[in-house]
Amino acid sequence: MRIQGRVLIIAGSDSGGGAGIQADIKAVSALGAFAATAITALTAQNTMGVHGVHPVPPDFLRQQLEVVQADIGADCFKTGMLHDAEVIRVVADFLDRTAGDTPLVVDPVMVSQTGASLLQSSSVQALVELLLPRATLMTPNLPEAETLLQKEIPDADAMPEAARALQAMTGGAVLLKGGHLPGNDLVDVFADGEELRLYRHQRIDTRHTHGTGCTLASAISAGLAQGMPLERAVSRGRAYLLEAIRQAPGLGQGGGPVNHLHTVDQAAIERLR
C-alpha cells in the first residue's frame, strides 16, 4: 500500500485500543494515509468504561504539535478529546499560526460511550468560540449536538433542522450522526450551507461499537488529506466504518472495538509467515 496524505491527530489516548488516538491511527493507516499525533490526555479505559484520566500539560501538547508540524507537516488536522479550555486554546493558537488552508475535522468529543465526561462542561463555550469556526467538518453525535444547540433533538425528523443550525453556528460543514436514536432505520445528516444530504443505513446488531465516532472522523480526515472532495471523503469514511463494525472482533466484556484493519490484505500477511 502506498502512503498518501498526512493527518495530524490531536486527541486523547485509549488504553483499551478501541477509541481515541489508537483508533485514529488505525483508521488513518488502514486507509493508506500517514498518522501523526499530539496526545491531549491519557485515559485508563477498557470496554467497560473510563477508569481514569491524566491530562497532558498544555506546554507539552504545544511542543508535540510544533515539532511534528515543523518536520513532517500535515494535509489534514483532526481533533478528538480536548478535555478542557486551556487545551482548546493551545490547539486554536497552533492552528491560527500554522494551519493556513489545511482542512480541519473536529469530532467534538464530550462524553464516552459508557457515560464518562471527556470535556469539562465549562469548556464547551471555548470549543464553540475558538475551534468550531475553524472546522472544515464537525462530526457530532446527537447528545453532543444537543449540548451545542442547547435543545433536544427528539427524532430523525428533527435532525435536518439541527444539522442546518449547527452548520450556521460554525460556518463549516456538519455531519450529524443519528446512531443514538432507537430503532433499526438510522440516518446521518450532512449539511454544508448549500446542500443537505441524508445517509441512511440499517443498524448493525452488535454491542461492539466502541470508538466509532473517533474512527469515522479519522477515516474522513484520511480522505481529505488524500485530496478527496469532502462528500467523497464522508461517503468513503462511512462505508469503511460500517464494514469495520460488521467485522468487529468481539473483544471485551462490554462495548468492544471495531475491526479497523479490515482493509488489510490477508493474503499479504500470510506471505510473511
Active site residue ranges: 177, 209, 211-214
Q: How far apart are CA 159 and CA 137, in angstroms?
A: 17
Residue 254 near residue 207, CB atoms below 8 Å:
yes
User: How many Å separate Cα 244 from the centre of its chain?
Assistant: 15
Of 134, 52, 136, the closest CA to residue 89 belongs to 134
Query: Phi and psi of 38, rounded to 5°?
Result: -130, 115
Torsion of CA 246, 237, 38, 108, to 10 degrees: -90
Answer yes or no: are the C-beta atoms of 5 and 76 closer than 8 Å: yes
**Shortest CA distance to 217 belongs to which of 15, 17, 21, 3?**
21
Instruction: Give the CB-side neighbour count of residue 168, counting CA atoms within 13 A.
Output: 7
Q: What is the DSSP letter of 158?
A: G
User: What's the grid cell of residue 32?
Assistant: 493508506
Can you point out the beta strands (E) in the chain? 6-14, 34-46, 49-55, 76-79, 104-106, 137-138, 173-176, 185-191, 196-202
